[in-house]
């Protein structure tokens, strides 16, 4: 997709050149950078089967930006480059994981119109492929555009690199307005570009109140508010339905109950195994009855990818309370972000909101000139399924990945090991234009397979799984 979009974006910019060549118009290059990122996944796992131990990985590349302006109101932005990477995980019997791949990348491509002029616009409108960063986070957080609802999942990194990548790029339009000295808000209307089903339209609102010491933000996303193909966003497949029978609600999916039975059996819990097996058998028998006597079939409700994500965010800059020059930059900044990935509870899989509530806290420690940034972030999410969306991508269903491990089945208690995530980020400018950054984390790392597909599930699913990475970066 990027390889086809990039030439079109360049062509569009070139085609706009005559228009922008008028008086008070200009085109300039900016934000050129090259980087080399390397490190080791100390421990991880891919699809429950391919164990990762001390796997070295690296990638390198470069990007640049172009800004074209006409007068004080209209601006066009284009960012492009290339990156070379190798597959994660590297598997001994797959030669495709042992070579480098190169991709063209598009980092931004959007038009901006400043109503009232660029110095102090009353309203800013953007249209296109837009980078969005609304928080102080360095790794975790930025939840509005890096989470799913049904199924619930979180993402870090950008599919290629991992160090200091806490932002997302959206396809659509953004309207930003500042009212007075303290209040601003943003409205986004975006098209889904990365998780199945593609192209659905979402509406997102974010309001921000800020003083020198305090910043408060409240937001909400109506995820997939307008489905492009409703039958894909709310599938009618039997496996994607649930019903009530004799006062109890069941998912119309015997496979789920069989996975519960497998896990109970392997743990020697015969009573639990029998219970879950009986429920699987019940679903099978009811299906047979309904096929023979359709009039007995109850109303089947459908699971849907659609959902509502509320968000809250707060940050405190303690430098505002201290009358000295001891601290600088982003030091002494404490911030937190929380998102509820799906307000509505849904039977069996999504019965408890607290299992979909992700909360992160970050702090920038003072370094007294030794570093430019020393950042620590922690996050808690007590989800009862693996952090992933394989059933969504491969099965086209808004169901969690209960079938993550076919050998051991599914037990919610097995997923307590990844409730806590953490990240440490360090940065230091060596000379003007050159900096070194490092990140050590157990976050939501995903790999990119040699098929160029990003892993559906996190590679770090237990508390002892983590990685470290270093990035060398030169900027102009």
Structure tokens at 167: 């932002």
pLDDT range class, residue 16, cuts 50, 70, 90? very low
Q: Is the pLDDT of residue 21 over 90?
A: no
**Could you give the percent of the chain with pLDDT greater than 70?**
95
Q: Could you tell me which residues are beta bridge partners of residue 129?
A: 109, 171
Backbone angles phi, psi at 260, to 5 degrees: -65, -40
Q: Are 373 and 400 in contact (CB under 8 A)?
A: no
The span from the CA of 134 to the CA of 143, in Å, is: 10
Write the CB contacts of 133 (distance below 8 Å, at least 6 apart in sequence): 142, 166, 167, 168
The span from the CA of 218 to the CA of 339, in Å, is: 10
The span from the CA of 364 to the CA of 374, in Å, is: 6
- Mean pLDDT across the chain, nearest whole number? 91
Mean pLDDT of 261-266: 96
- pLDDT (0 to 100) of residue 280: 96
- pLDDT (0 to 100) of residue 118: 67
Q: How far is CA 464 from the centre of its chain?
A: 22
Q: Is the pLDDT of residue 98 over 70?
A: yes
- pLDDT (0 to 100) of residue 159: 84
The span from the CA of 374 to the CA of 366, in Å, is: 7
Interior angle at CA 161, CA 155 and CA 166, nearest 5: 50
Q: Is the pLDDT of residue 30 over 90?
A: no
For 267-298, write each residue's pLDDT tens digit.
Answer: 999 999 999 999 999 999 999 999 999 999 99
Mean pLDDT of 100-112: 94
Q: Is the pLDDT of residue 19 over 70?
A: no
- pLDDT (0 to 100) of residue 147: 96
The span from the CA of 140 to the CA of 423, in Å, is: 8
Winning range, highest mean pLDDT, from 24-38, 169-183, 323-337: 169-183
- pLDDT (0 to 100) of residue 91: 77
Mean pLDDT of 139-165: 94
Q: How far is CA 287 from the centre of its chain?
A: 38
Mean pLDDT of 253-263: 96
Full-model pTM: 0.90
More confident residue, 131 or 12: 131
For 418-460, write each residue's pLDDT tens digit.
Answer: 899 999 999 999 999 999 999 999 999 998 988 888 889 999 9
DSSP strands (E only) in 305-354: 307-317, 333-340
**Could you give the percent of the chain with pLDDT greater than 90?**
78
Q: Are 306 and 224 in contact (CB under 8 A)?
A: yes
pLDDT range class, residue 241, cuts 50, 70, 90? very high
For 364-409, write each residue's pLDDT tens digit.
Answer: 999 999 999 999 999 999 999 999 999 999 989 999 999 999 899 9
More confident residue, 452 or 472: 472
Closest to 470 in 3D by CA, of 150, 164, 49, 82: 164
- pLDDT (0 to 100) of residue 13: 45
Q: Are 331 and 365 in contact (CB under 8 A)?
A: yes
For 341-362, write each residue's pLDDT tens digit.
Answer: 999 999 999 999 999 999 999 9
Mean pLDDT of 122-142: 95
For 158-209, write each residue's pLDDT tens digit.
Answer: 888 999 999 999 999 999 999 989 999 999 999 999 888 999 999 999 999 9
Which residue's entry shows tokens 């597909």?
453
Domains and CATH numbers, the chain: 2-231+303-475 (2.40.160.10), 236-301 (no CATH)
- pLDDT (0 to 100) of residue 315: 97
Write the CB contacts of 207 (distance below 8 Å, at least 6 apart in sequence): 183, 184, 185, 217, 218, 219
pLDDT range class, residue 308, cuts 50, 70, 90? very high
pLDDT range class, residue 85, cuts 50, 70, 90? very high
The span from the CA of 388 to the CA of 240, in Å, is: 18
């Amino acid at each position: 997709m990027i390889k086809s979009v990039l030439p079109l974006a360049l062509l569009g910019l070139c085609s706009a050149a005559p228009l922008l060549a008028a008086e008070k118009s200009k085109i300039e290059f900016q934000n050129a950078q090259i980087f080399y990122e390397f490190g080791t996944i100390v421990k991880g796992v891919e699809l429950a089967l391919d164990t990762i131990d001390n796997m070295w990985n690296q990638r390198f590349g470069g990007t640049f930006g172009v800004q074209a302006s006409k007068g004080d109101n209209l601006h066009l932005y284009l960012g492009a480059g290339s990156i070379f990477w190798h597959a994660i995980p590297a598997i001994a019997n797959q030669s495709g994981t042992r070579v480098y791949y190169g991709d063209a990348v598009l980092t931004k491509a959007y038009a901006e119109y400043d109503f009232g002029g660029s110095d102090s616009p009353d309203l800013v409108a953007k249209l296109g492929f837009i980078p969005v960063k609304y928080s102080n986070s360095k790794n975790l957080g930025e939840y509005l555009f890096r989470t799913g609802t049904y199924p619930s999942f979180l993402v870090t990194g950008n599919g290629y690199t991992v160090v200091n990548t806490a932002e997302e790029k959206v396809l659509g339009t953004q309207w930003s307005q500042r009212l007075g000295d303290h209040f601003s808000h943003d409205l986004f209307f975006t098209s889904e570009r990365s998780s199945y089903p593609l192209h659905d339209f979402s509406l997102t609102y974010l309001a921000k109140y800020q003083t020198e010491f305090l910043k408060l933000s409240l937001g909400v996303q109506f995820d997939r508010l307008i489905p492009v193909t409703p039958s894909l966003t709310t599938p009618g497949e039997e496996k994607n339905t649930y019903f009530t029978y004799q006062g109890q609600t069941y998912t119309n999916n015997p496979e789920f109950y069989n996975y519960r039975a497998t896990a109970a059996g392997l743990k020697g819990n015969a009573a639990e195994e029998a219970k879950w097996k009986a429920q699987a058998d019940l679903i099978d028998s009811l299906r047979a009855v309904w096929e023979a006597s359709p009039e007995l079939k109850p109303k089947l409700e459908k699971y849907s990818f659609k959902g509502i994500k509320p968000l809250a965010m707060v940050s405190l800059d303690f430098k505002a309370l201290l009358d000295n020059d001891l601290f600088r930059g982003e030091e002494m900044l404490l911030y937190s972000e929380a998102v509820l990935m799906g307000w509505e509870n849904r039977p069996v899989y999504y019965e408890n909101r607290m299992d979909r509530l992700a909360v992160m806290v970050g702090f920038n420690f003072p370094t007294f000139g030794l570093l430019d940034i020393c950042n620590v972030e922690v996050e808690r999410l007590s989800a009862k399924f693996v952090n992933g969306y394989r059933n969504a991508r491969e099965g086209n269903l808004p169901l969690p990945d209960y079938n993550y491990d076919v050998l051991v089945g599914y037990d919610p208690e097995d997923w307590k090991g990844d409730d806590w995530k953490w990240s440490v980020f360090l940065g230091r400018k060596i000379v003007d234009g050159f900096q070194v950054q490092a990140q050590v984390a157990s976050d939501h790392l995903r790999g990119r397979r040699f098929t160029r597909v990003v892993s559906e599930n996190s590679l770090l699913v237990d508390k002892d799984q983590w990685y470290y990475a270093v990035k060398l970066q030169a900027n102009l």
